[in-house]
Structure 1
Amino acid sequence: MPLKLPPDATGIITVDLDALQANWRALAERVAPAECAAVVKADAYGLGAAEVIPALELAGCRTFFVATPEEARGARLLAPKARVFALDGLFPGAAPLLVAADVAPVLASLAEVREWASEARHLSRRLPAALQIDSGLNRLGLALDEIKTLVNEPNLLDALDLRLVMSHLACADDPAHPHNAKQRTAFNRRRALLPALPASLAASDGLMLGSAFHYDLVRPGYALYGGQAFRSEPTPVSPVVTVKARVLQVRTLRAGDSVGYSATWQATRPTRLAIVAAGYADGFARALSGASGRKGGVVTIGGQKAPVVGRVSMDLITVDITDVPGEVHRGDLATLIGPGLTIEAMGRTAGTIGYEVLTRLGTRFVRRHTGGGAC
């Protein structure tokens, strides 16, 4: 389908829902017989939960993880028959909202367990929940002393319909890191103190560590959207997103002319510049600026890679197209993320990670979702 950009749009983000569904199926096949869930927090990593969740459900996904209560309520409306877990757990006073949305909080502290159990007793019915164990990430999770308290106060757990016990790996992207085995051992020992429950330890990178990390359920997020953070081998997924922005103007510089704020880049030869309607307000980080003596980000125009020169500003980038063959015209599109321009590469150049690249894509660009029908 030809790319159609509305005349008043600065750029377009295209999300390939067929590729998304294929990624979920590939990961599900890799981890079988474990269940493959989907993490769709932060508006499905910035790609549109309203389109992503139904597409994944059509592909066969039956369990979704979000972060916040608001995200959980949205996911429940989009997938009324699925299991929905809220990773941020139970906010003080939010129990009635999660009950109304039929969402299971991932309880990560004794205080959360007590409050959720109190709500269950108030309603005279057991409420669904997951338990998160701290196995060494030292972020969210029940500490060992809290687990022992739960064991000694069985009335707390008896009030709950516990559906999962889980933890999260700190170094899963590096298969050689000893912390992975250390956390798996801690997870096994601590969950053994609790009632027998389905278990989950691995997310996108953890599932690549092998079947010993799969347990009963894996929770990929980044990998579903084409992310490749695992260091040892490619994750069996394909890119899902492309980002293009409009060329606003083409101009010619003389040798010695500077470009952009603070005049950080100077032309050393007669130079053709394309001014592109993308900036840090659109998720093209200021750290991708190119200066004299320092390479910045890269885009493609006319199928040719071209460097970003000068400072990235809020709304604009300047691209050196001197070596791009053929003509570049006002209204042409520059590719910011696409073939040969991965989210990982952009992240590395900006001094961050592909996760941040995805979730910081701005709202000014038009979003187009393609495919995603029944598989």
Structure 2
Amino acid sequence: MNDDTRHDFQDCHAAGSQPVSETVAGAILTIDLGAIRENYRRLKARLAGVRCAGVLKANGYGLGALPVASALMQEGCDIFFVALLGEGLALRKAIGPGPDIFALNGLPPGSEAEAAAAGLFPLINSAPQLTAWRETARAAGRNLPAAIQVDSGMARLGMSAVEVEAVAGEAGAFENIDIRFVMSHLARADEPHEAANESQRLEFERLRKLLPPAPASLANSSGIFLGPTYHYDLARPGAALYGVNPTPHEANPMLPVIQIHAKVAQTRAVEKGAGIGYGHTLHAQGPLRLATISFGYGDGWHRRAASAAWFDGVRLPFVGRVSMDSIILDISALPAGTLSEGDLVELIGTSQSLDDAAGHAGTIGYEILTSLGQRFHRRYLGA
């Protein structure tokens, strides 16, 4: 790896965290910003001219909102979505003025003036939020941008059909509000044959026609792959940018973005009958050679994951329970002396994908990414 491809970033949402050096870290998280840029380009190509935002909630899905935003801005991305106002404030401070930043969860009551002062835009998810933003705009003496989110059938966020119908007949309901988008969110976009997708799209069509004319946005990562009918004026990919498969029943059209390697802390040989790990959930059925790695659920690897690490293409199964700071591997398949203290084994990379690792844990790639802790040495490539 060339020095000019490796960059350190202070994560703009990880308050008080400091970069961890490679020497002292127990594990290395490699984040390929060039792959994120290529994934953005691939999604834009599918959108065929429709605008494409970047979703940076949960600190850029755990990978660092600032470095991800910087990479996407180099590709021309000028609209970002976060979940919370606090995330938006931190991102605005880090990247400065310019790109639009929308808060998906709306604004907590009383925070409207702070959001407006920072140039952040809410998704208005309820009638009370609409009233609060309108009053904030009046007090500021200027129109304030926002997106209106409607609930088209997910029952999570967005104005209900009853609320939309009510405000549609209310004079001045949207006075002083610059509606940038009318939006909704698909509940089953990763299941392309589900009738719920079309039901939601039709309900979205109905509700947005009750509102003032504005550009529309419905497609998330998987929604992009449902086809042009779902693209509207803006798509909002998140997980696909980070290498999670947006078409889980087909080959992944995205490039992998992360690799995780953990350091060997110790190796040992045990005899038949030896109890291994907490609770002695496993006893050696014969002589074994073991390696303990400095990596565990304290770093975001799920305790329930029955999985393996890899070294030079050789699978090294987990044995015993995953601990907070360590995992025991069976390295008997390697020639004796192959692994030493400080050597690196792969947890996610060329031998095991992010989605494969998630499947072993009974979860999804989103949760693996957003669970990654602060003890890694983070290595950014392709900045």
The TM-score normalised by the length of structure 2 is: 0.92
- Secondary structure, aligned partner of 1:252: strand
* Higher mean displacement: 97-106 or 343-352: 343-352
Q: Are positions 1:188 and 2:205 aligned together?
A: yes
Partner in structure 2 of residue 306 of structure 1: 316
Q: Are positions 1:317 and 2:327 aligned together?
A: yes
> Counterparts in 2 of 1:12-91, with a 5 A limit?
12-77=28-93, 78-91=95-108
- Secondary structure, aligned partner of 1:93: coil
CA distance in 2, matches of 1:27, 1:325: 44
CA distance in 1, matches of 2:369, 2:235: 21
* Higher mean displacement: 341-350 or 196-205: 341-350
C-alpha deviations, 1:68-103, integer Å up to 9, x for none? 111111222315211110001011000011111101
Letter in 2 for 1:341: Q
Letter in 1 for 2:77: C
- Secondary structure, aligned partner of 1:209: coil
> Counterparts in 2 of 1:81-230, with a 5 A limit?
81-230=98-247
Change (3 A) 1:199 1:235: farther
CA distance in 1, matches of 2:24, 2:167: 58
Change (3 A) 1:235 1:154: farther
* Higher mean displacement: 228-237 or 121-130: 228-237
CA distance in 1, matches of 2:75, 2:137: 34
CA distance in 1, matches of 2:368, 2:290: 25
Deviation of the 1:156 alpha carbon? 2.1
Q: Say whether the 8 Å CA contact 2:313–2:351 is kept in structure 1.
A: no
Partner in structure 2 of residue 293 of structure 1: none
Unaligned runs of at least 5 residues, structure 2: 7-20
C-alpha deviations, 1:98-139, integer Å up to 9, x for none? 111101100100010000001011111111100100000000
CA distance in 1, matches of 2:153, 2:251: 26
Among candidates 332, 343, 348, match of residue 354 of structure 2: 343
CA distance in 2, matches of 1:271, 1:36: 52
Deviation of the 1:235 alpha carbon? 4.6
Deviation of the 1:234 alpha carbon? 3.4
Q: Say whether the 8 Å CA contact 2:142–2:176 is kept in structure 1.
A: yes
Q: Say whether the 8 Å CA contact 1:208–1:235 is kept in structure 2.
A: no
Letter in 2 for 1:56: L
- Secondary structure, aligned partner of 1:85: strand
Partner in structure 2 of residue 252 of structure 1: 269
Change (3 A) 1:300 1:2: farther
C-alpha deviations, 1:267-319, integer Å up to 9, x for none? 2121111100001000111011xxxxxxx111112331211110101100001
Letter in 1 for 2:350: P
Deviation of the 1:183 alpha carbon? 0.5
Q: Say whether the 8 Å CA contact 1:246–1:334 is kept in structure 2.
A: yes
* Higher mean displacement: 138-147 or 325-334: 325-334
Deviation of the 1:259 alpha carbon? 0.6
The TM-score normalised by the length of structure 1 is: 0.94
Partner in structure 2 of residue 292 of structure 1: none
- Secondary structure, aligned partner of 1:357: helix
Change (3 A) 1:268 1:347: same
Letter in 2 for 1:110: A
Partner in structure 1 of residue 24 of structure 2: 8
CA distance in 1, matches of 2:197, 2:302: 32
Q: Say whether the 8 Å CA contact 2:138–2:176 is kept in structure 1.
A: yes
Partner in structure 2 of residue 231 of structure 1: 248
Partner in structure 1 of residue 260 of structure 2: 243
Letter in 2 for 1:26: R
Letter in 2 for 1:72: G
Unaligned runs of at least 5 residues, structure 1: 289-295
How many pairs does the alignment contain? 365
CA distance in 2, matches of 1:250, 1:302: 17
CA distance in 1, matches of 2:331, 2:2: 24
Q: Say whether the 8 Å CA contact 1:120–1:160 is kept in structure 2.
A: yes
Letter in 2 for 1:199: A
* Higher mean displacement: 227-236 or 309-318: 227-236
CA distance in 2, matches of 1:229, 1:221: 10
Change (3 A) 1:62 1:2: closer
Percent identity reads 44
Q: Say whether the 8 Å CA contact 2:53–2:81 is kept in structure 1.
A: yes
CA distance in 1, matches of 2:220, 2:199: 17
CA distance in 1, matches of 2:246, 2:34: 21
